[in-house]
Amino acid sequence: MKMTWQLIAVHGWGSDQRYWQSWRKPCKQRGWLLECFERGYGGFKENSPEWKSSYKHALIVNSLGLHLTPSKILAKSDAVILLASFGKFVPEGSDGRNMQIALKAMAQKIEIGKIRELLEEFREKVAAPQPVDYLPAGVEDQEISEIGKMKLLNDLSLLAKCNGIPKEFPHNSAVLIVEAEEDKIVLEASRAQMRKNLNKAEIIKLDGIGHGLLMPTLPDMVLDWLGKQ
């Protein structure tokens, strides 16, 4: 019987595998295997771990990570943990139109070479209401190649176009949604739509916490939930 969890962790836009640094020790303490997907925006090489047959499979995604996850990994997940995530990023109505304008402005900054400035502004919003210095390091401190630049642009386009829960989502698996009540990136309309689409999911709402989920006890809280599945 497969008793031990393998976790594949997928970061979001403008981030890298270091997002999961605070999860490594809690996973190791439980004897669980944590492997990190890497999109390769900056200095880290692109990497996409595979499921190992001798483990139970837990997918943990942050923000856009749900839509960056390879279909075969998502489909074979025994548990899915969604951290400040979404199915459809851009909601309907005036909020959605404003979001599309903001995404186009972000793309323009990348195209004219103001990537560092853009990432600094983005990280401020991700961290809020906490200080940006509390965030793990991301690609803002690395050289970004032309390939990395194209990945950032392509994934901004994915943010604008993603239209719901991916069709490969394993709806019969255990699902946990972790929402940041002060999220300045994922709007409430998008969060509500995900709750509706995944109406069997368990939900944790974090008061006073922003999109960056800057809460030291979060890894243990989530892994304790996983240990009961």
pLDDT of residue 2: 54
The arithmetic mean of pLDDT across residues 70-84, rounded, is 98
Tell me: pLDDT of 82 over 80: yes
Alpha-carbon span 81 to 83, nearest angstrom: 6
Nearest in space to 123 (alpha carbons), one of 140, 107, 103, 106: 140
CA–CA distance from 54 to each of 27, 33, 218 (Å)?
17, 11, 27
What CATH fold (topology level) applies to the domain 1-229? Rossmann fold (3.40.50)
pLDDT of residue 23: 98
Amino acid at 15: S
What is the tens place of the pLDDT at every residue in 181-214? 999 999 999 999 999 999 999 999 999 999 999 9
Domain residue limits, the chain: 1-229
Burial 65-95 (b: 16+ CB within 10 A, else e): bbbbbeeebbeebbbbbbbbbbbbbbbeeee
pLDDT of residue 138: 83
pLDDT of residue 1: 45
Tell me: pLDDT of 33 over 50: yes
How does the average pLDDT of the chain come out, rounded? 96
Under the banding of pLDDT at 50, 70 and 90, the label for residue 137 is confident
Q: What is the pTM of this model?
A: 0.96
Nearest in space to 15 (alpha carbons), one of 184, 177, 135: 135
R_g of the chain, CA atoms, integer Å: 17
Tell me: pLDDT of 97 over 60: yes
